[in-house]
């Protein structure tokens, strides 16, 4: 951690990292898009193009001509070609570890928003997971978009870290505390189905990569009760609610998908059109791996 650019004690390394990070950083969501022919059979050039974008921004949007195709291999095999192998099987994922995100009455009535058409607040995936099950990357593959809405906003978590550190290093310090954010145990069914999750917002993993654990929800979350944490959280909330040039907006079209190192994201509400048979269907795969070739200490090329 000592020579990490994310260490608050290493200003020189941070400055170097920051300069590289901002050099040719994309300014539009279109710059994140890579055209591919088939997510299941990426060419070497397609992989290289995707990794190049993702290495800079921790995310890449692919656009394939396979809209409307209901085949989870589109997400799974695409991930494998990008070094994503270790799938996280949360309790609502299907048996193959890939979740079909669509409006499903039973699940959304139990309060699981991803299965409803309501908006999703800013978060990173798996913020309630145990430390050994940190989500480092996820894939979203859009089979069919909604009739209206369902747009994502995306913010590279390394940029969020940078903006906070630039504004006040104490914000970062507070959010790196091991007890900054607590998600109470899930006792929905009267039994504890998930233990309380206590941890930092920002952390650096063994490979030296920055990870972020965050949700903008205000219920079932306990922030550390001190002034520094409160101010840091307020800063982050304002950043996410504002119009930062670093916040990308993208609405996935059919056949498109997002591959990312678990960046901050939200989603607007959406509506289907029963008469026209339009219903949003998105596959989601979450991984303990990070996208290959995008680690801080990996040589580029």
Write down the least CB distance from residue 251 to Fe ion, Å: 15
Task: Give the nearest distance from C-beta 120 to Fe ion in angstroms.
Answer: 7
Number of Cβ atoms within 10 Å of the Cβ of 111: 10
With contact defined as beta carbons under 8 Å apart, do 138 and 207 qualify? no
Binding mask 99-128 for Fe ion (x = CB under 5 A): --------------------------x---
Q: How far is the CB of 128 from Fe ion (least distance, A)?
A: 12
Supply φ then ψ for residue 173, to 5 degrees: -55, -45
Rule CB under 5 A: which of 125-154 touch Fe ion? 125
Applying the rule CB under 5 A, the residues between 24 and 43 that interact with Fe ion are: none
Tokens for 13, please give them: 């390394």
- The size of the interface with Fe ion (CB under 5 A), counted in residues, is 1
88 binds Fe ion (CB under 5 A): no
C-beta of 122 vs 161, nearer to Fe ion:
122
Give me the least distance between CB of 140 and Fe ion, in Å please.
8
Q: State the nearest-atom distance from the C-beta of 264 to Fe ion, in Å.
A: 9
DSSP string covering 261-272: SS-EEEE--EE-
Specify the 3-state DSSP secondary structure of 79: helix
Shortest Å, Cβ 101 to Fe ion: 9
Q: Torsions phi, psi of 160, nearest 5? A: -60, -45
Smallest separation, CB 117 to Fe ion (Å): 15
Residues 164-203 that bind Fe ion (CB under 5 A): none
For Fe ion, the closer CB: 125 or 158: 125
Sign of the alpha-carbon torsion through 139, 268, 237, 52? positive
CA distances from 40 to 46, 75, 78, 79 (A): 12, 8, 5, 9
- Contacts of residue 239, defined as CB under 8 A and 6 or more positions apart, other chains included, come to 160, 163, 164
Q: Which are the contacts of 192, defined by CB distance < 8 A and separation ≥ 6?
A: 185, 186
Closest to Fe ion by CB, 21 vs 251, is: 251
CB of 154 to Fe ion, least distance (A): 11
Contact (Cβ atoms closer than 8 angstroms) between residue 223 and residue 185:
no
Radius of gyration of the chain (CA): 19
- C-beta nearest to Fe ion: residue: 125
Nearer to Fe ion, 135 or 176 (CB): 135
DSSP 250: E
| Residues within the interface to Fe ion (CB under 5 A) | 125
């Amino acid at each position: 951690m000592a020579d990490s650019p994310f260490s608050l004690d290493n200003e020189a390394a941070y400055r170097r990292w920051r300069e590289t990070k901002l050099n040719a950083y994309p300014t539009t969501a279109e710059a994140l898009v890579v055209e591919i022919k088939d997510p299941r059979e990426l060419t070497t050039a397609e992989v290289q193009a995707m990794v190049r974008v993702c290495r800079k921004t921790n995310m890449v949007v692919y656009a394939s001509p396979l809209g409307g195709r209901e085949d989870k291999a589109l997400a799974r095999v695409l991930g494998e070609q990008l070094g994503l192998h270790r799938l996280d099987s949360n309790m609502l994922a299907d048996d193959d570890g890939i979740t079909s995100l669509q409006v499903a009455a039973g699940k959304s009535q139990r309060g699981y928003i991803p299965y409803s058409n309501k908006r999703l607040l800013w978060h990173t995936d798996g913020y309630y997971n145990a430390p050994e099950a940190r989500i480092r990357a996820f894939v979203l593959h859009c089979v069919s978009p909604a009739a209206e809405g369902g747009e994502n906003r995306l913010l590279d978590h390394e940029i969020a870290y940078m903006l906070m550190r630039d504004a006040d290093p104490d914000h970062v310090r507070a959010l790196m505390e091991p007890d900054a954010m607590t998600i109470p145990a899930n006792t929905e069914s009267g039994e504890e189905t998930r233990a309380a999750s206590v941890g930092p917002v920002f952390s650096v993993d063994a490979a030296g990569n920055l990870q972020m654990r965050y949700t903008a929800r205000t219920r079932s979350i306990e922030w550390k009760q001190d002034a520094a944490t409160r101010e840091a959280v307020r800063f982050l909330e304002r950043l996410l609610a504002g119009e930062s040039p670093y916040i990308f907006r993208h609405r996935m079209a059919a056949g498109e998908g997002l591959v990312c190192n678990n960046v901050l994201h939200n989603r607007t509400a959406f509506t289907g059109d029963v008469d026209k048979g339009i219903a949003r269907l998105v596959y989601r795969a979450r991984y303990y791996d990070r996208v290959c070739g995008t680690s801080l200490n990996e040589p580029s090329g």
